[in-house]
Amino acid sequence: MTQKKTVANLTAAIRRTTGATRDNYARELTEHVPLDFVCVLVGASDRYHAAERALDEAEATLACAMDAVRKTIKVQTDIIQITYLLGAIPTTARTYVISLNDGTPEDREQAQKLFIEATRKLSKVMAATDDSASAQTLAWAAMSAAMAEQTERAAMAAYRSVQIMIQSVI
């Protein structure tokens, strides 16, 4: 196997593994590239794994919040509107978080308005039930999941950048 292919396989293995297995791959990688590069790669891998876990937790929280809202509004007759509202909150939260990173001030303002409006509409529907706080809980969970998703994406991009840098050194 060529040295470039070995380095590529090792950098990929470091991202996929943790603990002693990852440490073994890192030690092996130090035979091909400087230790400083390997340390940066392992650090990027740690950040990626932490972001991945945070995203999993945020998505689980969002799913629980959506289930709570669904259970509370079972008595509502307009199931199409409720389904739309449940989907609108996470979607507008993602749009808002993405606009914070990549959008213009106008994009951010519009995305924020859409998120607030979606939350307000669901709150109105929930006001007829005994649990009107579920809409706000859902909104916070959706925003948390959207931020975790962006963090995971950024951590993965950072890892890939370090990986490409290491592979280009060879």
Phi-psi label, residue 24: left if phi above 0, alpha if psi -120 to 50, beta otherwise: alpha
Question: Hunting for tokens 């950098």 — which residue is that?
Answer: 11
In this predicted model, what pLDDT tens digit does every residue of 1-43 receive, in sequence order? 588 889 999 999 999 998 999 999 999 999 999 999 999 999 9
> Which domain covers residue 34, as residue numbers?
3-169
Percent of the chain surpassing pLDDT 90: 66
Other CB atoms within a 10 A radius of the CB of residue 138 amount to: 28
Q: Which of 70, 51, 64, 71 is nearest to 142 (CA)?
A: 64
In this predicted model, what pLDDT tens digit does every residue of 112-123 receive, in sequence order? 999 999 999 888
Number of domains in the chain: 1
